[in-house]
Structure formats: structure tokens, C-alpha cells
Amino acid sequence: MDEILEILLNDARRSPEEIAKMTRKPVAVVKKTIKKYEDDGTIVQYKAIINPEMVEDRGHPPVRALIEVSILPQKDVGFDHVAERIYSFSEVKSCYLVSGSYDLLLIVEGENIQTVAEFVSSKLSPMENVRQTTTHFLLKKYKEDGKIFKAPSKSKRLNISY
């Protein structure tokens, strides 16, 4: 992978000037390279990774689930057409074609467990070419995109004053 992409993948807040110093390339070259990657779709989006335990409670956070989906591929289009229909639902945040005992792995988000269950039972499972689904609700996030989440430390020691 290009070193500019690696730097941005690790920390998308790096400025072109910082990247130029790190790579020993001229700033103009770095800016041009980043622009090319944005224009050709190599860089799709810049994103922040948020530790949900550090965010003040503003109501309940959305419920996330991993859903394994077994499908029948369609003639001449394989898995792509079915996957496209599935990932078009707003509840589906990510969709992957995987090897193993199922075909697609979805990350689905809903307001609560019932809305995710309703999505599976009324939209996903009845779809033509969907043979089977298995839903796993995410209970706690420990690590995402290589970043480890640490819970806020709560000191168990009592303060002593004299």
C-alpha cells in the first residue's frame, strides 16, 4: 500500500505538510496524490472512531448486530445482485461477502433490539434468494479498526487527606 494511504489510514487528521515530512516528498506531490485518491474513489471517506463508553448518555445508543446470511446466488450475477438489494436497506451499515458456512456478513443498526428483529423478520428473511440468517447482537466494543477502547478508569482507592 502507498505510504501516504497508510499514514491516512492510521490517522486521517494528518495534514499534507505532516505527511510530506514523514514521507520526504514535496507538499505539492502529497496534496496531488491525496486529491487523486479522493477523486478516483480510493479514499471513500474520512472517519472518526468513537469510544461509546466515553460519550455522554444522550438517550440510548443504537443497537448493532452482526447478521450471517446464507443466500442462493443468481445465475449470471452471482452474489452481487442479492447483496446489492440487501445493502440498500438503511438499517444495513456494512455488507461483506465472506467464505465459510454463510455468504454475507451484515452489520445492522436499529433503535433497539425489536427494530433489528423486525428488520430481519419482515425485510431480510422473506427476500427471494435468502435461505437462512443468524443474528448476533453486539454487547460491548473492545477494539475497532485496530484501535483499542479503554473504559474510563474509576479509581478504587479512597482519597486520604490529613
C-alpha cell at 162: 490529613
CB neighbour list of residue 57: distance below 8 Å, 6 or more residues apart:
none
H or E stretch covering 76: none
Q: Give the whole-angstrom CA distance, residue 43 versus residue 8.
A: 9
- Chain length of the chain: 162
pLDDT at 151: 66
* Domain spanning 63-144, CATH architecture: 2-Layer Sandwich (3.30)
pLDDT per position as a tens digit, 69-111: 999 988 888 899 999 999 999 999 999 999 999 999 999 999 9
For residue 62, pLDDT over 80 is answered with yes
Only one residue has cell 443474528, namely: 135
3-state DSSP assignment of residue 146: coil
Cβ(38)–Cβ(44) below 8 Å: no
Q: Which three cell numbers stand for residue 92?
A: 444495513
Query: Would you say residue 65 has pLDDT above 70?
Result: yes
Dump pLDDT digits (tens) for 18-41. Answer: 999 999 999 999 999 999 999 999
Burial, 101: exposed, middle or buried (Cβ in 10 Å; 0-12, 13-18, 19+)?
exposed
pLDDT of residue 162: 67
> Domain residues of the chain, as ranges?
3-39, 63-144
